[in-house]
Amino acid sequence: MAKRHARLSLIFIVSIGLWACTLHGTRTDKIAAMDIPLNTGVNDPSFLTDMEKEIIVELNTMRVDPKRYTDFLKSLVGRSQWKQGLDEAILFIEKQEPLPPFKASKGLCLAARSLVNDGGQDGLTGHVGKDGKSMFDRMNIYGKWEGKAGEYLGYGYTEAEAVVARLAIDEGAAGKEGKAYLFDRDFLVVGVSCGPHKSYRIMCAIDFAHSYKEKPDLP
């Protein structure tokens, strides 16, 4: 009965951002100078690329200090490619209470990477790979997730700031369904992967979960 109840309580949230742009030169506080943690769960983050590390730091910047992050979003006001939804995002994030940083998970990163590798070379989009595996299937290859899980996909972003800014705009804009990613207290663990994409040049996948128990023999 307990197992059945747990399965009924799961929530599946997915979202896709398709918006190619660059924010080169707009970030006033560089990642290296920030006091926001990369993660609190991975002892050796060498398996992450620089962009993947920066995305995690950007996510945690917003999560730990929403006011600080809205200062960055306000610096984007007036840029034509960022008009739609930007004001809503700023208002939405300004109302949020600070939360603990996401705990990075190697298993979730590998789950995200499997989708990037699977779809990128053929220019595919969406949360189901050409092998037919769903987000849940991929997560279960590298460990076990509990509570609820979600996945955000971004295409065409060459900078970590742009990936996370677009996610923030999606969450803040009226009518969007992604509001339970960044400021949901039940999402505590994150995995990130970015790689080449045939159609959009680059693809990033961000996997979220309440908790995730990794297998002990991860590659």
* Segments making up each domain of the chain, as ranges: 2-21+48-214
pLDDT digits (tens, 9 = 90+) for 96-105: 999 999 999 9
Q: What is the mean pLDDT of the chain?
A: 80
Architecture of domain 2-21+48-214 in CATH? Answer: 3-Layer(aba) Sandwich (3.40)
Give the angle 42-43-45 at the CA atoms, nearest 5°. Answer: 65
Question: What is the spatial distance between Cα 119 and Cα 88, in angstroms, rounded to a whole number?
Answer: 32
Q: Give residue-wise pLDDT tens across range 5-34.
A: 333 334 445 555 554 455 655 454 454 444
Rounded CA-CA distance 113/35 in Å is 27
Distance CA 74, CA 67 (A): 11
Model confidence pTM above 0.95: no
Handedness of CA 133, 57, 177, 158 (dihedral sign): negative
> Which residues make Cβ contacts (< 8 Å) with residue 24, sequence separation at least 6?
159
